[in-house]
Amino acid sequence: MFTLHWMDKAAENYAALRARADDAIQTRKSKKKTKSSKDEGLFKQVYKAIELLRANPKHPGLHTHDYDSLTNPYNKDAKVFEAYAQNATPGAYRVFWCYGPGKREITIIAITPHP
């Protein structure tokens, strides 16, 4: 398992996704509906991607690959990676990350819809 570190913007995005999912759950329960909302599903997918990333950054389901448009916050010559939280959907969410700052550590740089 890797230890996760979060850049401020990534932590804010994750918290916002979680808050929207929590609100959707409360609304659904108050209306006695059983079908999950899009916000609940999105958070579940992002959460799963981060947990897979923590366990194995090379997990095939993440489709991890290099991403050149972001700079590594620890070493400008080191790589930044993109992992899929969603696939085959318009505006699919991605998790941008890098190794570091130490061994067995990963930093989450951003969680955003596909640019």
**SS3 of the chain: helix, strand, coil, percent, to 5:** 40, 25, 40
Whole-angstrom distance, CA of residue 80 vs CA of residue 72: 6
Give the per-residue pLDDT at 32. 86
Whole-angstrom distance, CA of residue 10 vs CA of residue 35: 28
Give the per-residue pLDDT at 64. 96
pTM for this entry? 0.91
User: In a structure prediction context, what are the per-residue pLDDT tens digits for the chain, which is 115 residues long?
Assistant: 999 999 999 999 999 999 999 999 898 888 888 888 888 999 999 999 999 999 999 999 999 999 999 999 999 999 999 999 999 888 899 999 999 999 999 999 999 998 6
Strands (E) located in the chain: 3-6, 65-66, 81-84, 93-99, 105-113
Give the per-residue pLDDT at 115. 67
Domain ranges of the chain: 3-29+37-113
Whole-angstrom distance, CA of residue 16 vs CA of residue 77: 31
CATH class in words for 3-29+37-113: alpha beta
